[in-house]
Copies of this chain bind each other. A is one copy, B any other.
Amino acid sequence: MEQQEVITNKQIIFRDYINGFPKESDMIFNTSATINLKLPEGSNGVLVKNLYLSCDPYMRSRMSKLQGSYVESFTPGSPIVGYGVAKVLDSGHSNFKNGDLVWGITGWEEYSVITNPEALFKIQHTDVPLSYYTGILGMPGMTVYVGFNNVCAPKNGEYVFVSAASGAVGQLVGQFAKLAGCYVVGSAGTKEKVELLKNKFGFDEAFNYKEEQDLDAALKRCFPEGIDIYFENVGGKMLEAVLLNMRLNGRISACGMISHYNNEQGEAVRNLFHIITKRLLVQGFIVFDHYHLYPKYMKMNIPLIKQGTIRYVEDVVEGLENAPAALVGLFSGRNVGKQVVVVARE
């Protein structure tokens, strides 16, 4: 006879497909679900307790009704899913045992049954904050490793521009750029974030894009010699201005365009002719394709974190019930640093 331990499982339920900007009311905090903390016999999955949940801009895409996209839509009436850090409570899979810490795709709920645990990463290093596995040591960190270190291939002395520079990805691009010997400028949306870029992350220069009348002029002020590498996080008007300021043989790595997530076709972008005249490389990529590089990234990055060479700022919200506001806040730039939600601390 199996042991039965059925308890409450609070959840954030995705209400229904949306258009435009997400609202908190697009998600429902449900306190009436329950879960058996024992996997059914014969299951190959794992049952986990969720500790930290990640709020990432790409999640907006999953709130639309999608067909043939790089991600699938959330299921209306089911919990939101996303990256998180979790602890294995019961395992039907030989790779995992009770007590293992993992990161990967999980549910926005207290406990989740993960039926494809092969896609989870086992956490080896626990002498760093576990929440880092939603950020610098997780998907956003790998995004920077692939998109900046690999695609942009920075060289000593090059000029690097990062938009959304204080976010989960941008703050790392800036720091890796400095390590590569580049001159790096970031843009962000508040005075506080601009200070953070300059004083905490070591950006050479930073500006508040909301206070600039003319983005082209702002870039010309920061980059009198032009830009060699642009790590694209926003798209739209910023991309238009960047194209005017790219140097010959520049590289644009594109893994996100936050200004396009809430708009079906995205903003129309001018100045594309500069791609030709400046012989630019524009490379889109999705980090999911490159997870085989994760061990290499960890080997490089863990020492940098432990030595304090690389810093990482998180915006930590306590409580699953506050996750919808945290997610929605990404799109107005309310977060300062990587947005994490604490469900439980082990």
Contacts and interface: CB of A to CB of B under 8 A. Distances in A.
A77 interface: no
A260 B269 CA distance: 13
B275 A284 contact: yes
A279 B254 CA distance: 9
Contact of A267 (B256, B260, B267, B270): B270
Interface in A244-285: 254-257, 260-261, 265-285
A257 B273 contact: yes
A286 interface: yes
Q: Binding site of A, secondary structure by majority: helix, strand, loop or mixed?
A: loop
B270 A270 contact: no
B289 A279 contact: yes
A130 B276 CA distance: 29
B286 A277 contact: yes
Contact of A272 (B70, B269, B273, B283): B269
A69 interface: yes
A117 interface: no
B289 A284 contact: no
A186 interface: no
Interface in A12-57: none
List the 6 shortest-distance A-B pairs measured between CB atoms, nearest first: A268-B268, A275-B284, A282-B282, A276-B284, A265-B270, A70-B277
